[in-house]
Amino acid sequence: MSREFRWLARELRPGRRLRRSALAVVMGWLVRHLPEIAAVLLAVKLWSLSAGLVGPVWTLLSVAVLAVGPLSRPRSRRRLLAGLGCLVTRYRLRTALVELRLTTRAGRLPLVLWLAPTPVGERVWLWCRAGISAEDIAEEIDGIRAACCARDIRVTRDRRWAALVVLDVIRRDPLSAAAVARSPLAGRDG
């Protein structure tokens, strides 16, 4: 299919054509929300163990100290915010792929293999199914950038596997200064 008509094929493609059983829908939801489910289950288990050993009041105090400690240090706060940014990017990217119809004809999305924080944002590794290419994703960068609230998004196809696509979500520029430094020589006449 030529590049000029690729957008038309996506527009004419139905939003969802797959018929899935209720079990498949529930399993898909569980897989998509696995990190949050695991974090909540771990927190409940740790709370019950700690409350059983030292009591609920001391458990609450220790949780407060453990929550304030990492948030008070800039380095750990940056890491926590980077982890939260990865979660937000994953959901926003999935929503953008659905809304922009970057799916196969059967309605399947690219698989998010891994997501990792970088100094400027996040890096997402996608495995494109048959029918989706890096060029399709690159053509819809504006919509993905808006959905992810990003400054820029760079699309890179892997040299070895054409189905592996790396998205660099750029949120900040570490080289840009918050305030412009004035030179002491600016006011002098030569």
Q: What's the pLDDT tens digit per position in 99-144?
A: 888 888 877 889 899 999 998 889 999 999 988 889 989 999 999 9
CATH of domain 74-174: 3.30.980.40
Q: Is the pLDDT of residue 2 over 80?
A: no
Q: What's the number of CA atoms in the CB half-sphere (13 Å) around residue 173?
A: 7
pLDDT of residue 5: 64
Arithmetic mean of pLDDT, 20-47: 87
- pLDDT-above-90 percentage for the chain: 28
pLDDT of residue 180: 63
Average predicted confidence (pLDDT) for the chain: 84
Query: Taking the complete model, does pTM exceed 0.75, yes or no?
Result: no
pLDDT of residue 164: 94
pLDDT of residue 60: 87
User: For the chain, where do the domains classified as CATH 3.30.980.40 start and end?
Assistant: 74-174
